[in-house]
Structures are given as C-alpha cells and as structure tokens.
Structure 1
C-alpha cells in the first residue's frame, strides 16, 4: 500500500499542557467482527509499519467464497476532502499498475470514477439541515459550523482485469474520515458472479461496513484552541466572533474525532480494535 502522510499543523500558540505532545499520539481503529451478515475473516496490523494502518478481510453475506472484500484504514492527516479522495484513488491505480507491470495482473481497464456516499460514522445533529428555520447571519453561520453531514462522500471505480489467467470483476472505493483514508477493494472471478449481482452486493456491503469503521484520535488535537477576536469596542460583535471561533474549534474536534487525553474507550462486544502508536515527530 502506498501512503503519503500529510503533516498536521497545530495552532500557532498551543496550550502549555500540549507543549512537547504530538498533534496525535495514538489512534484507535475499531471495526465489527460481524455486521449485517458480513463476517470478519482476518484483521492485520503491523506496528512496525503503522503508516499502512489496518487491513481487514470480510466474507460477505450470500456471496460466493471466491469474492475477495478488503478494507484498508490508514492515516492521512488534514486535507481538503476532494484532494484526499483524488490522491487515494491515484494510489489505487498506481498499486494496480504496479501489479500489472509485475505480471500479476493483465488487461487492466479502469472505468469512470463516480461519487459514492454512505451514512456518516457521526450523524448530523439536525434531522435535515436544509429545513432549519431561517435566522440571522450569525445563527446561519453557527448552524453551518455545527452541522455534521449525515453522509460520507467518497469515490467509486469499476475495473476489469485478468489475474493469473483468470478474468475478474473488480471495484475500488475511497473515503476520507476522521483524518484517515478508508479504501475498499473487491474482486471476484467473472465465472463466479455476474456483473449486476457483484455490483449490487459490493455496493451494499460498502454502504453497511464503511460507516462501522471508527477512528478515535488522542493527542493535542483534542485541545480547544481559541484565537480570540481583537477588541473592536462593539461588545455584541466581539461576542459573536468569539462564539463562532469556539463553534469552529468544537466542530473541528468532532470532525477529527479527537480527545485530548484519557483512557481509550472500553472494548465493545462484537468489535475488535487496533491501536496505532506514532513515533515522536510523526504529527506536528
């Protein structure tokens, strides 16, 4: 797996308690042993190669045993979502082209890259943000900052290839969530499954399983850091500016799923987890 880790920038004046700490000291990646009939066959994490994250192999419900379905959850860092998704899909293509050059794959054909959305791991606080009552510019901006999208938008690409003389159908998906990339690869021999059934079953599995990938980040990223507005002499205006800054930071902490410190969440029945501990200097 190819990985380019994007550095994260802290605020210009970190809190004294955060001096010497990394933006993220560790991340806890958790995932279900079974969900919607899809069963975890194997999970792999190598602490010596933490940048590769966690790889998961699931057996899909009602799918032939020959169908291979893998999820990769690995750190990316702060990035505009569109850039992160483009980079991730490029990684997918580079990896597949590498196997093609090595002779593992042949006749690789990539289809169009399309948008693909699943329920977000953390849902919106509003039933429907578009139906929020109209208010002042301040109210509207506060709602915008504190509303979390109910969907996680990703990318999907259909491709075909031949592996060891066996023609195969394949799908690739990428998502960006909680400072991590989530990549899904699925493939099946053409003879084992028709295209319509393959596409439908894999799309459904991605929709069910990707939202179950949770990343809890611990470090200075969980500290609320405020850049208070300069005193303009207008008390109401200054109060609103500071309220928006606080809302912006609280939304950032929730979006990145960060906690300043404290124990890891207790293990949850039916879920497994891997803890990624980062060497000093990884996040800065």
Structure 2
C-alpha cells in the first residue's frame, strides 16, 4: 500500500497497521488545510477477486455491521443513517459512443470498448449519517464511502462536529476528499496474480471472443498485479509516501 504524504491540500497525519490483524488492513488519517474540524480516515483492507457488484454489496453489509457494533460498544449514540447512494470517483465519468457511423466491425469494436470502460467505471457507495459521539455527547455529521479496487476495499470515513461546519460545506468537502484520496492511494499486488488466463467458449463468435478479450483484460488490469515490486514501481512511488507491506501465504489469498 502506497499512501502519498500530501495530495493537494490533503496532508497525511498518521498511518496505522497491526501485523497481528493483517486482514484488517491499514489506516491512513488525512487532514485538510483550512478545515481543522474535519478528520478523514481511509481504511484499506483485503477483499479478494470477485465481481464489483458483489464486492460492494458484501462490503456495505460489513460497513453497516461495524457501525452497529460501535453503537453497541457505546462509541456512538443516536445513529441515523441516510440513504445509500452510488458515488462516482470521477464526477463526469461517461462513455461516449461513436460520433459518426462506420462499418459493422468498427461499430462492434466501439461497443465492446464502451462496455469495458463502463464496467471498469470507478464507482462505489456513499452513506451519509449523523450521530452523537460518546462520552462527550457531541452531535456529529459523518459520511462513509466504500470502493472496490485493486483487490481491496477502500473505505473512507469523514466526521466533523455539527457546530463547526455547515452540512452543505461538509458534504462538498468530504466528496472532494474521497475523489482525491482514493485514486491517490495505491495497492500494488506482487506475486502470482500477475499471471492471467482469459477464458473464451470454444464456439464463441469473433465478436464474442473480442468482447471477452477486452473485458477480461480490462478487469485483470484493474487488479494492479505485478511479478515484482520493481515492476510495480514501488521504490519510485515510495519517495514521498507512507508504505505498508502486507505479506500473504498462497493459501491465505484465494478467489471465492
């Protein structure tokens, strides 16, 4: 995991990782200049290889369960969850179709590329909430975000006291935090996952073969897998970043 020490006006204040609880991943706390009232935590923890929709559904169920445990432990009171929303890391993430008509093969290729780009669209989930922070009794506004990328979950939690920042300003700030920090933090997976096999049905048509080649290659590229740390550029990227390395045995890391 490579977390930059500064991304724009977001500054890394702390990084945490417990080797004895490696499946909980690592945490990175950022502050933003001019907003001392808001703390932003990015938690990065292993998910494994699975369809994005399944990953987000499972991940959000775990997220809600964690919030429930925080209430049971007395950390939060009066927890009110807002509506869960789809959240795009790129605000205008759209896929444009061809502007001019072409031959059948060209149009088919355009359609395949558009489907691949849409399937790899960097989106996740957002869950706004309010609560009272105990034991101080402070009314808080908060938001949680969850993304599945590079075989890991990226969970963003941002909170601020209600009296310190307006809800509208808080919403704009934390959306910007998620869109800035999640793409900036990288998980470089090193090992056997660098090898990939593309599966195509024996009786597939040329169009189906092309579709599967593009879709599966795009999906594998999103895993960010490399044979070596050098190939992943870890040394070069680490100069101005906090790096957390988590080692797994082969039997610990399996696709469902």
**TM-score category (smaller protein):** 0.7 to 0.9
Segment drifting more, 138-147 vs 53-62? 138-147
Aligned length: 245
The partner residue of 1:218 within 180, 190, 206 is 190
User: Compared with structure 1, are the counterparts of its residues 222 and 104 closer, same or farther at alpha carbon in structure 2 (3 Å cutoff)?
Assistant: same
The answer as to 2:51 corresponding to 1:80 is yes
The partner residue of 2:227 within 260, 265, 272 is 260
User: Compared with structure 1, are the counterparts of its residues 246 and 197 closer, same or farther at alpha carbon in structure 2 (3 Å cutoff)?
Assistant: closer
RMSD over aligned Cα atoms: 2.8
TM-score (norm 1): 0.75
Q: Give the CA deviation at 1:253.
A: 2.2
What are the within-5 Å matches in structure 2 for residues 31-46 of structure 1? 31-46=3-18
The answer as to 2:241 corresponding to 1:271 is yes
TM-score (norm 2): 0.83
The equivalent residue for 2:74 is: 103
The answer as to 2:181 corresponding to 1:209 is yes
What are the within-5 Å matches in structure 2 for residues 119-158 of structure 1? 119=90, 128-131=95-98, 135-136=104-105, 139-140=109-110, 142-144=112-114, 147=117, 151-158=121-128
Q: Give the CA deviation at 1:190.
A: 1.4
The equivalent residue for 2:146 is: 174
Q: Hey, what's the Cα distance between the residues in 2 that align with 1:258 and 1:133?
A: 37
Q: Give the CA deviation at 1:229.
A: 5.8
Q: Hey, what's the Cα distance between the residues in 2 that align with 1:194 and 1:228?
A: 53
Q: Hey, what's the Cα distance between the residues in 1 that align with 2:227 and 2:115?
A: 21
Gaps of 5+ in 2: none
Q: Deviations over 1:33-84 (max 9, x none)?
A: 11111100001122222211110000012212x3221000111012222222
Which one has the bigger helix percentage? 2
- The structure, 1 or 2, with the larger RCO (C-alpha pairs under 8 Å, 6+ apart) is 1
Gaps of 5+ in 1: 1-28
User: Compared with structure 1, are the counterparts of its residues 145 and 255 closer, same or farther at alpha carbon in structure 2 (3 Å cutoff)?
Assistant: farther
User: Compared with structure 1, are the counterparts of its residues 44 and 63 closer, same or farther at alpha carbon in structure 2 (3 Å cutoff)?
Assistant: same
Q: Deviations over 1:153-209 (max 9, x none)?
A: 111111111112111111111111111111011111112222111111111111111
Q: Hey, what's the Cα distance between the residues in 1 that align with 2:57 and 2:199?
A: 32
Structure 2 counterpart SS, 1:281: helix
The answer as to 2:84 corresponding to 1:113 is yes
